[in-house]
A and B are shown apart, each in its own frame.
Chain A
Amino acid sequence: MNSIGSGSVLGILRDERFIKAALQLAFTALIIIAAISLARSVDSSLREKNLAPNFEFWSTRAGFSIGGAEAYYSPDESYWRAYVVGVENTIRVVILGLPLATIVGIFFGVCLLSTNFLVKTIARVYVEILRNTPLLVQLFACYFILVLALPAIRFAIEVPQGNPLLALSNRGLVLPAFYATDRFMPFAVIAIVGLVMAYVVQRELGQISERTGKPTPRLWIALGIVVAAAVIGWGVATAAPAPETAAVTNGSETVEMPVSEAMAQNLLTNEQLREVARAPFFMEQPRRQGLRYVAGVNYSGEYIALLLGLVVYTSAFIAEIVRAGIQAVDKGQVEAARALGFGYGKTLRLIILPQALRVIIPPMGNQYLNLAKNSSLAIAISYADLFQVSNTIINQSGQTVSVFVVIMATYLSMSLLISYVMNTVNSRFQLVTRSPQKGGGLFAIFAPHGAIGSLVRRLAPQRGGS
């Protein structure tokens, strides 16, 4: 027999590994039983009240319109399609909100560490005000004080005046739209080849300078290659002459007129603009017709208020996280780097940041989740995000349970995706120490050297044993 214990039943019952395994199994069983009974009781009570989940209604006609989505959604489409528009609107906020909040947060975090009294105080005031007032209040303030105080659309602020690249009113922001022309493909191909070449050359030069110890201006060389590729691409793409006249519909008759004249009168369709432009892409400037901007990309006032509110609020927390992360790096690290002759920039890049990121990333992930989930407050300023649209769906269809199941599943998937990305990033920055934590959990007990594995080996008939 092995020396750890006797093979008797009593011995096994006192075996620490057996006790742990048994407790885990008992606990798992308990949870499964509880979950099943809960599901049954919920199901039966919902049936009693005639609220049983029904997922078929999703394909019936929605019948309500969604602000800002008129171009690609009509009330005749299904509830499901309306829901998807809501999800797209949520993603539109989150996907821009995360990087913006990060940039603004890092900026204020670094300011919090500044030795300049004014800079530090301004950053501190910013952080404290935003951290200590409710997000809902801030969103209302953003919407009613900032956005709705902008001039009405007839008096929209246009920069530059008359022929705008940017138009701002209480309905939102309009920016130029860029469309690819037929000449875009050759330009894109040459530009991509240039980017790849720049990357390869940059990497090769890096390796050469590591081998020889001699620094090379590799970033400048890479930048030069990119610029050269862009210029060549532009030249190739614009080599062929463009048509000088176009057939335009002016009122009822169609006439052939010079392109420049037609453009001045805004008579060309987008398709014709694509043909006559002598560039890889053309820019459509914001253009107002009556009380609406018909050209350019529209960002509604609600969208801007929500994005601004979420970014500003989250950035205050990120600023504190960045400050704490940098301060968490031991002062001795800076001293050691200085003593070895590292300058300020290299100390920051090679010594401080890699260690600060280790502290910063996990709480940063929490803030990203907060931003994503807080986007549901869009309903307060009636931005048509997934929760606002869902609310309308519930009001119209009465299908509370199934809509909420879908809402939960959507937010959960979004959060899990963010968590997954952050965990992956995080694991790359963790320090290696003397006693790495072994993966534990329920399944560990089934591993060959886990509790059950060892017990099985002990209980099995010993071969050639004493």
Chain B
Amino acid sequence: MTKTAGEPIIICNAVNKWFGEFHVLRDVSVNIAQREVVVVIGPSGSGKSTFIRCINRLEEHQEGDIIVDGIPLGNDIRNIAAIRREIGMVFQQFNLFPHLTVMQNISLAPMQVRRVPRAQAEKKALELLERVGIPEQAKKYPGQLSGGQQQRVAIARALAMEPKIMLFDEPTSALDPEMIKEVLDVMKELALSGIVTHEMGFAREVADRHSCFSSQGRIVEEGDPQTFFDLDVDHHERTKAFLSQIL
């Protein structure tokens, strides 16, 4: 791993999770360094989303350790709150607040959670909207925007909390590849770490590393983007089967 630098900001050690009888995550161990962007790929149902939702405790893991920026994730609500403050998340369905304007969507959490003064929160929101290319939409409601615009607002909303880490759960459904490259560039610029899940080999140039989940919820292979997508390299059988379908 050539690009990884500094201490790991996310440490996952032998994480296991069950949904009832179903074993979703099996012994998942990954370290993610500061400023590193990892794309997690794998077939649907392989546990990619569950994995990143465990990192900010939208799902509970049952075994193993998750440590984010030195804070162990467990049942302590103060730790959960502290970790959520460091992590921004962008959802597949955007999950914008439909009763609030774009501006309010972005500035609400900084004002309510971080206690940022209104003027400052709104200035920041406008800057972020400019960055994602839709400053003219600030006064509209999410229902008045296209899917792509909504996803941009969702990204601005997550960035407004000034997170150290960004999680993207299947962002492509409404996001064109160009846009995600822009976002990942922004993350590089802000020195953020990130995890992106995706069903396809995607945005390979911008990612530092790819991990492939097997259908059993286990990480079968990791690699840098150059070799990961090269079919001539000696891959794990499961990765090979998956890559041959998407390339």
Chain A residues packing against B (C-beta within 8 Å):
210-215, 330, 332-333, 335-343, 346, 350-351, 354-355, 358, 429, 431-434
Contact = CB atoms under 8 A, between A and B. Distances in A.
Given A332-B91, A332-B93, A340-B84, A213 B111 contact: yes
Contacts, number: 86
Closest 7 CB pairs of A and B: A433-B143, A336-B95, A332-B95, A432-B141, A340-B109, A213-B117, A339-B89
A433 B109 contact: no
A211 B115 CA distance: 10
Contact of A351 (B97, B143, B158): B97
A429 to B, nearest CB: 8
Interface in B68-120: 81, 84-85, 87-89, 91, 93, 95-99, 108-109, 111-120
Contacts of B119: 211
A350 B95 contact: no
B2 to A, nearest CB: 31
Given A211-B117, A335-B95, A340-B84, A350 B143 contact: no
Contact of A346 (B88, B112, B143): B112
A215 B97 contact: no
Nearest to B81: A341
Nearest to B108: A350
Contacts of A338: 56-58, 84
B227 interface: no
Contact of A431 (B93, B98, B114, B118): B98
Given A332-B93, A339-B89, A340-B84, A433 B117 contact: no
A368 to B, nearest CB: 23
B157 to A, nearest CB: 7
B161 interface: yes
B165 to A, nearest CB: 11
A84 B241 CA distance: 84
Contacts of A431: 98-99, 141, 143
Given A431-B141, A431-B143, A358 B99 contact: yes
Contact of A210 (B95, B99, B118, B144): B118
B141 A214 contact: no
Given A340-B157, A433-B143, A213 B116 contact: yes
Nearest to B145: A434
Nearest to B96: A336
B115 A333 contact: no
Interface in B123-146: 140-141, 143-145
Contacts of B85: 341
B14 to A, nearest CB: 25
Nearest to A431: B98
A333 B95 contact: yes
Interface of B: 56-58, 81, 84-85, 87-89, 91, 93, 95-99, 108-109, 111-120, 140-141, 143-145, 157-158, 161
Given A211-B117, A211-B118, A358-B99, A341 B109 contact: yes
A342 B115 CA distance: 12
A355 B91 contact: no
Contacts of B145: 434
A432 B144 contact: yes
A339 B99 contact: no
19 contacts: A210-B111, A332-B95, A335-B95, A336-B95, A336-B96, A338-B58, A339-B56, A339-B58, A339-B84, A340-B113, A340-B161, A341-B84, A342-B109, A343-B81, A346-B113, A355-B98, A429-B99, A431-B98, A432-B140
Contacts of B114: 213, 341
B103 to A, nearest CB: 13
Q: Point out which of A338, A339, A346, A354 has the most chain B C-beta atoms below 10 A from its C-beta.
A: A339
B58 A354 contact: no
Contacts of B143: 431-434
Contacts of A434: 143-145
Given A210-B117, A429-B99, A434-B145, 6 more contacts: A211-B118, A330-B95, A333-B97, A339-B84, A341-B114, A346-B113
Contacts of A211: 117-119
Contacts of A214: 115
A358 B98 CA distance: 11
Contacts of A342: 109, 112-113
A461 to B, nearest CB: 41
Contacts of B116: 213
A358 B91 CA distance: 24
Contact of B99 (A212, A215, A332, A355): A355
Q: Point out which of A338, A341, A433, A434 has the most chain B C-beta atoms below 10 A from its C-beta.
A: A341
A333 B94 CA distance: 9
Nearest to A436: B144
A205 B96 CA distance: 30
Contacts of A358: 99
Nearest to A336: B95
A335 B114 CA distance: 18
